[in-house]
């Protein structure tokens, strides 16, 4: 039985990864400091003998006994409201945490896959974004703590690959959605659905012409699985190239939820990217991967998940005034 360490295991993507690798017959070690993760996402795994969990901050030294075949480094705040609220922790998990886990991979002879992001492209001047585009990032802007943490993570990973010969993978994840997202974490999809469920107008920041491309979580997990088991060590985009404007997306949510709300517009946060669309040519060629779940089906599943949440989660606020907070 192969053993895999998954950091950020109690988060949105980490918990789905735990499920997938359990199904594939792996022994899974989950690790999370629960700063943004939730044990409810993985509590169904606790009774399984092939799963164990450690509450630990990977920015501190990471020790795992016994053999270790693979590491998935998914520990990091991932939404604007998180990394603006805890900027230092965001930088540390992308730098110190990545360094610790690369050292662990080297000592164990393990393959390590690190979760990068489309945010390394910043507000792109190239469209769609290919892996050889270097990006347009403001290192001292409010999003810089996340963007630069991920860019450093990629550089450190490549250094360990070229200098120490560590078997590395780098995935650049584009907007992903599905069950277990936090309803009020500030990202556009849960924000829209949460507003619809509460009977509030849908808030669009900017004029609504900025674009995003949304990938359903099951498709992303499949891409991660294939990349890990490949032999390709340079960055690979994984996302859905089906691009839509935020204004159009708001109308899709209103139609899906059958609500009567209108769309209201507010100023765009600083450095918010105007375009997001992955070029997935490399994923198609190297991994024989492309998304299978269309947005209508994925949104229906996600909406049903959010509707099933307790009322207190629906009205829980991550911050009392997100519009002001995001401009700090």
Residues known to be catalytic: 146
Concatenated DSSP letters of 230-263? S---SEEEES---EEEHHHHHHHHHHHHT----E
Buried b / exposed e over 31-60, threshold 16 CB at 10 Å, is bbbebbbeeebbeebeeeeebebeebbbbe
CA pair distance 95, 323, nearest whole angstrom: 29
Q: Where in 148-293 does DSSP place strands (E)?
A: 168-173, 176-177, 202-205, 211-213, 215-216, 235-238, 243-245, 263-266
CA pair distance 41, 10, nearest whole angstrom: 6
CA pair distance 214, 242, nearest whole angstrom: 7
Virtual torsion, Cα 269, 270, 276, 278, nearest 10 deg: -130
Q: What is the CB-side half-sphere exposure of residue 48 using CA atoms within 13 A?
A: 19
Q: For residue 96, what are its two tokens?
A: 């110190």
Q: What is the CB-side half-sphere exposure of residue 284 using CA atoms within 13 A?
A: 10
């Amino acid at each position: 039985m192969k053993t895999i360490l998954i950091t950020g295991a109690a988060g949105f993507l980490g918990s789905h990864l735990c499920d997938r690798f359990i199904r594939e017959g792996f022994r899974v070690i989950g690790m999370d400091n629960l700063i943004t993760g939730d044990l409810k996402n993985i509590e169904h795994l606790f009774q399984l003998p092939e799963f164990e969990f450690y509450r630990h901050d990977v920015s501190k030294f990471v020790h795992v006994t016994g053999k270790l075949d693979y590491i998935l480094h998914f520990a990091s705040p991932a939404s604007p409201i998180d990394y603006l609220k805890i900027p230092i922790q965001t930088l540390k998990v992308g730098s110190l945490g990545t360094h610790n886990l690369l050292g662990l991979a080297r000592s164990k002879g393990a393959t390590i896959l690190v979760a990068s992001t489309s945010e390394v492209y910043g507000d792109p001047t190239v469209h769609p974004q290919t892996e050889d585009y270097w990006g347009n990032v403001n290192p001292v802007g409010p999003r810089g703590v996340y963007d630069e943490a991920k860019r450093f993570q990629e550089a450190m990973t490549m250094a360990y690959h070229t200098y120490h010969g560590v078997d590395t993978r780098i995935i650049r994840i584009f907007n992903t959605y599905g069950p277990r997202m936090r309803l009020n974490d500030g990202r556009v999809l849960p924000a829209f659905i949460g507003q619809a469920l509460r009977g509030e107008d849908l808030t669009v920041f900017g004029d609504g012409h900025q674009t995003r491309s949304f990938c359903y979580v099951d498709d992303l997990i499949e891409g991660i699985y294939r990349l890990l088991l490949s032999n390709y060590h340079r960055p690979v985009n994984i996302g859905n190239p089906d691009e839509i404007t935020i204004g159009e997306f708001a109308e899709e949510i209103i139609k899906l939820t059958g609500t009567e709300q209108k769309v209201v517009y507010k100023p765009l946060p600083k450095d918010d990217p105007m375009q997001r669309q992955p070029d997935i040519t490399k994923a198609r060629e190297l991994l024989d991967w492309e998304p299978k779940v269309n947005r209508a089906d994925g949104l229906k599943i996600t909406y049903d998940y959010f509707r099933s949440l307790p009322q207190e989660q629906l009205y829980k606020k991550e911050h009392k005034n997100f519009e002001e907070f995001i401009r700090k």
